[in-house]
Structure 1
Amino acid sequence: MADIEYLVFDDALRDTGTRAVFDRTVQAVNDGTARRVKLSRGQGFDTAGEKLLGSAVLEYALGLVPADEFDAAAARDFSERMRALFGWHDITYTLTHWVETRLCSPYFENRGTDWSPDWQLRAGADASDLPESFFEFSCYVAIGELKHGPSYASVSANRIFDWVTKLGSDLPERLKKHGTGELPPELAAFRGTGDAEGVTAKANDALATIRIAVKHETAGSYGAVLDYLTTLLDTTDFPRSYAIEFRGPTKQYLPVKKLPKKSVNQLFACAAAYPELWPKIAAYARAAMSEYDWYTNLDGADCAMPGTFAVFALGIAEAVSGGNDHVPLVLDYLREVDGEHQSLHEHVLAAHIDAHGFDDVGLAYLVACAGNIQELQHRKTYPALIANERSLRALLALREPAETPDPSGTSALAANLRGEPVADYAWRHVLYAIWGSAAETRDANGGAGATLIAAAPAELRPLYEAILA
């Protein structure tokens, strides 16, 4: 590759003379003196004028160590320094490839398909010579996938755990029982006292699970739970996709049709019953929201970004009280959520409009949802609900919102495919959600919404014309 101006791992294999610069770079990473530089393709280092690809340095540090000399702790520490420099995304391929090369390829065969693999030990495979350090480092990689990788990296993590187990190590089982041991003891296992007596929580950072139990239905109990969750997410590198499993004395769920009646729903529905806890619910939601992460014990149509039920509970409870202090949080959530894969927010929007009509808040939620969801459904009740001057004027005020510099991925992609601005794409979805196909019907002159405008009361017709223009 003559057009590449930096060294890659193959250079160290072909030319032993280049290994000195790799060694110096590895030492600089370990010393904390290495600095990342941008290369023509990717990122790397510049050591005494010689450029090296970052992943090549990691591959060199791991790949040339003989099995009987491999130090899992040293390899983990080096990988963590590389993660700090480049991020997990840039090193995950090298790390998982190391595991595949050392554990999978020599001992396993895929008896399934590429799409549905079934890794089984080869006949006669003898793994007795594998050092424990290989298992330790492989499990570090698996846990890194859970902590720092995208939500689907759990597939890679579980595959690695499975390989290690089938090769005869009980380390995955120990991790699944006790976690990594890296969480502070008070977060790995919490027991409430005083007003929070009867609250217990356990977090396992290897499994990405949080188990919570509340014995007494009190504000103190739920306040302690919320503080615990927020501290766990804010002060540790606990996986950003995780499961919350909750047990409590009150089987109460958010009053929204089609929301899954899971325990995480129950937790925040109960907590939101105490207005004094609303700031704590908001704090947890801010700590939890992460666009491409998920509650891992919700699947399919019920998938939800962490923080989802906290935001829903807060928005619903505050609307009933007549407040709007946390509307900005709900709007931030609706703009951040991965609308390409999640649609639960549509049900909460419908519930708000059913309960409060097309008020300013409901319209703001509608516009946010329309810009960040695949299919926002029209409901037959909407045309009558919005047919009043106050609601129409509020909608018109949102006709040309300031376009954000970072629109949602869903609306940006869809608008780009249609060759139109993001704001126009979202606005058409707003109109369709309210009036259905009638908003798209055109008259002989090409005017949109002709039948709606013609049927509107005379005093409201100018508003319809402005909105549908």
Structure 2
Amino acid sequence: MNKRNWLIFEDTRQTPEARAAFDRAVAQVNDGTAQVRKLSGESIRGFVVDGQKILGQAVLEYVLEGLSGASRDVSPAGTPVPPRGAPAAPFDAESARAFAERMRLLLGWHDIDYLLHRWVDRRLRDPHFVNKGNDWREQWVLKEGADPAVVSDGLFRFACYVAICDLKFGPSYASVSAERIFNQVTQLGSDLPARLKRDGTGELPGELAAFRGAGMSARANDALAVVRITVQEESEAAYAQALGYLDRLLSTTDFPRSYAIEFRGPTKTYLPIKGLPKKGVHQLFACAAAYPALHPAIEAYARQAMREYEWYTNLDAEDCAMPGSFAVFALGCASAAHAPLVLDYLALADGEHQSMHGRYIEGYVDAHGFTREAIAYLLACAGNIQHLRHRKTYAARIANADSLGWLLEARRRVAGDAPSSIAALRANLLGECVDEAAFRAARHAIWGEQADKDRGGQVIRKAPEALRALYTEIFADEPGR
């Protein structure tokens, strides 16, 4: 019908044939027979109905416009304009939510979130609020004479559904847009955001929304993305129940993947790593790791929780950390047997924004020296952190044949590892291969700037004769492979 070769929502305003194609697509989504197809490239996806391609998100827009009474008068911007003082037009929030959920499962949240936010803005924000700020720092306040009575309760419920999906399925920064929607709904007179923040959505199973076991209790609020765990009696059993609760919460529900763990317990134990924030989530895993029998459960939690670009939301910005961080650190401190988990974590962590893993490496070296595992951690961290700082104690601690040999061995092996985005960017800026850029960053952390400048000349000259060949290869431009 057009040179795009697929239909968009605006086409439904033009021809009955387009509306009929959309109606058939909606029917397929509702009866579970719809199949997502690539319409063009990797990013443009939708459906093919009787040979006609239809943009996926346009089908959702078509349904929402129909449920909102799009045939009413609209402003030039497309916003429905009810008569001043008219009662709120009904909006079938449950039907809208049910269809949006089907589309989310088919297309993914990232394909429909922009459309849903634009739709909510047109009906909730734009008619009733004005931006007193600017494009960079928005400040939406109620318009003079705004009449909340013209907004239906169904629209409030659907807007809050979009906000909660932001928390559950969006990136960590989507919490900003979620809170904006909650604030606007509240300013328009609804107590729904307050009830959600107090009680959650009501979608969590009762045994997860509130759980009580022997010596511990837990509550979860999926609207706030907060888990509260209290251990009353210090015991292996109590921590086992807490870990089992977290595993069920993350593995069986759509609980937000950026979240806060608030913990209270009788034992104020923390990991022997300088600079880690002494928060409840840190205390929880430091205490649980004291029981070796719980290590498999701690690792199971960590692997459930670890997701790049997700965060523990109750840590300060300078202490930001991917969920699972303290569980990984606790196991890594407990035994070298957990090295595969630590290395998986270091490869996944968002090194552009997080630096906490650098503190873990420092604490590990302080405790264990430059073991084979410590060197593997150092190189992994060097490849996935913006700045790995030099420490004066490192040069003396690595000055032995075993540690230097392990460092050379790791230099040869790391070439086969998948690079992080940080390592790739650094290598590109320096004009080096990825593995060598990470090795140089690790080498700087051990021997500092002077060794970089003279290619280790002073280090080599001062080294015992038995170690000079190792140092020479370490500071060579090309590794001996």
TM-score (norm 2): 0.92
Aligned to 2:232, which of 210, 215, 218? Answer: 215
Aligned partners of 1:10 and 1:127: how far apart in 2? 30
Tell me the equivalent position of 2:460: 453
User: Where in structure 1 are there 5+ consecutive unaligned residues?
Assistant: 319-323, 443-447
Give the CA deviation at 1:54. Answer: 1.0
Give the CA deviation at 1:23. Answer: 1.1
Q: How does 1:27-426 map to 2 (within 5 A)?
A: 27-40=27-40, 42-67=44-69, 68=89, 70-192=91-213, 197-318=214-335, 324-403=336-415, 406-426=418-438
Aligned partners of 1:290 and 1:121: how far apart in 2? 38
Aligned partners of 2:68 and 2:203: how far apart in 1? 28
Report if the CA contact (8 A) 1:441-1:451 is conserved. Answer: no
Change (3 A) 1:235 1:66: closer
Report if the CA contact (8 A) 2:90-2:152 is conserved. Answer: no
Aligned partners of 1:89 and 1:242: how far apart in 2? 19
Give the CA deviation at 1:15. Answer: 3.3
Secondary structure of 2:130's aligned partner = strand
Give the CA deviation at 1:402. Answer: 4.5
User: Where in structure 2 are there 5+ consecutive unaligned residues?
Assistant: 70-88, 477-481
Aligned to 1:467, which of 443, 449, 474? Answer: 474
Secondary structure of 2:145's aligned partner = coil
Report if the CA contact (8 A) 2:261-2:281 is conserved. Answer: yes
Report if the CA contact (8 A) 1:438-1:452 is conserved. Answer: no
Change (3 A) 1:388 1:66: closer
Report if the CA contact (8 A) 1:70-1:133 is conserved. Answer: yes
Aligned partners of 1:66 and 1:151: how far apart in 2? 30
Give the letter for the 1:78 counterpart: F
Q: What per-residue deviation string (whole Å, max 9, x for no partner) do you get for residues 238-292 of structure 1?
A: 0000000111111221121111111111111111111111111111111110011
Tell me the equivalent position of 1:445: none
Give the CA deviation at 1:459. Answer: 1.1
Report if the CA contact (8 A) 1:401-1:423 is conserved. Answer: no
Report if the CA contact (8 A) 1:6-1:52 is conserved. Answer: yes
Aligned partners of 2:368 and 2:149: how far apart in 1? 67
Aligned partners of 1:352 and 1:405: how far apart in 2? 22
Give the CA deviation at 1:405. Answer: 6.5
Report if the CA contact (8 A) 1:241-1:306 is conserved. Answer: yes
Q: What per-residue deviation string (whole Å, max 9, x for no partner) do you get for residues 175-208 of structure 1?
A: 111111111111110000xxxx231100001110
Give the letter for the 1:96 counterpart: H
Report if the CA contact (8 A) 2:218-2:227 is conserved. Answer: yes
Give the CA deviation at 1:64. Answer: 3.0
Secondary structure of 1:109's aligned partner = strand
Aligned partners of 1:129 and 1:237: how far apart in 2? 33
Aligned partners of 2:102 and 2:316: how far apart in 1? 34
Aligned partners of 2:417 and 2:331: how far apart in 1? 27
Report if the CA contact (8 A) 2:394-2:447 is conserved. Answer: yes
Secondary structure of 1:401's aligned partner = helix
Give the CA deviation at 1:406. Answer: 4.0
Change (3 A) 1:419 1:39: farther
Change (3 A) 1:404 1:152: farther
How many aligned positions are there? 455
Secondary structure of 1:392's aligned partner = helix
Give the letter for the 1:461 counterpart: R
Aligned partners of 1:243 and 1:74: how far apart in 2? 32
Q: Structure 1 stretch 50-59 or stretch 15-24: which is displaced more?
A: 15-24
Report if the CA contact (8 A) 2:419-2:435 is conserved. Answer: no
Secondary structure of 2:228's aligned partner = strand
Give the letter for the 1:13 counterpart: R
Secondary structure of 2:144's aligned partner = coil
Give the CA deviation at 1:133. Answer: 0.9
Give the CA deviation at 1:3. Answer: 4.6
